Amino acid sequence: MKETEKKESTGSQASANSLASSRRGLLRGLAAGGLVAGAGLSLGAGPATAASRRIARQSASWTPPNSPSQAEQELFVHGNDRWKMQAQLHPREYADTRTPLVAAQHPWAMIVSCIDSRVPPELIFDQGLGDLFVSRTAGQVLDGAVLGSTAYAATKSYVKLIVVLGHQGCGAVQSAIERKDNPGTPNFPPRLEFLTDRIKDAIPPAGTPNRENLAINENIRRIRNQLLQEPQISPRVAAGTLNVIGARYELDTWIAHKIN
- Residues annotated within a binding site for Zn(2+): 114, 116, 167, 170
Point out which residues pair with 257 in neighbouring strands.
248
Euclidean distance between CA atoms 147 and 137, whole angstroms: 12
70 CB-near residues (< 8 Å, 6+ apart)? 160
Name the binding residues: 114, 116, 167, 170
128 backbone dihedrals φ, ψ, rounded to 5°: -125, -165
Alpha helices in the chain (DSSP H): 3-32, 36-39, 50-58, 68-72, 80-84, 95-101, 121-124, 144-154, 171-181, 190-199, 211-228, 234-239
Task: Output Rg (C-alpha) for the chain, integer angstroms.
Answer: 26
> Which amino acid is residue 191, in one-letter code?
R
End-to-end C-alpha distance for the chain, whole angstroms: 87
Own/partner long-range contacts of 212-219 (Cβ < 8 Å, ≥24 apart): 212/173, 212/174, 212/177, 213/168, 215/173, 215/176, 215/177, 216/166, 216/167, 216/168, 216/170, 216/173, 216/248, 217/166, 217/246, 217/248, 217/259, 219/139, 219/140, 219/166, 219/170, 219/173
Euclidean distance between CA atoms 18 and 11, whole angstroms: 10
Q: Look at the chain and count its residues.
A: 260
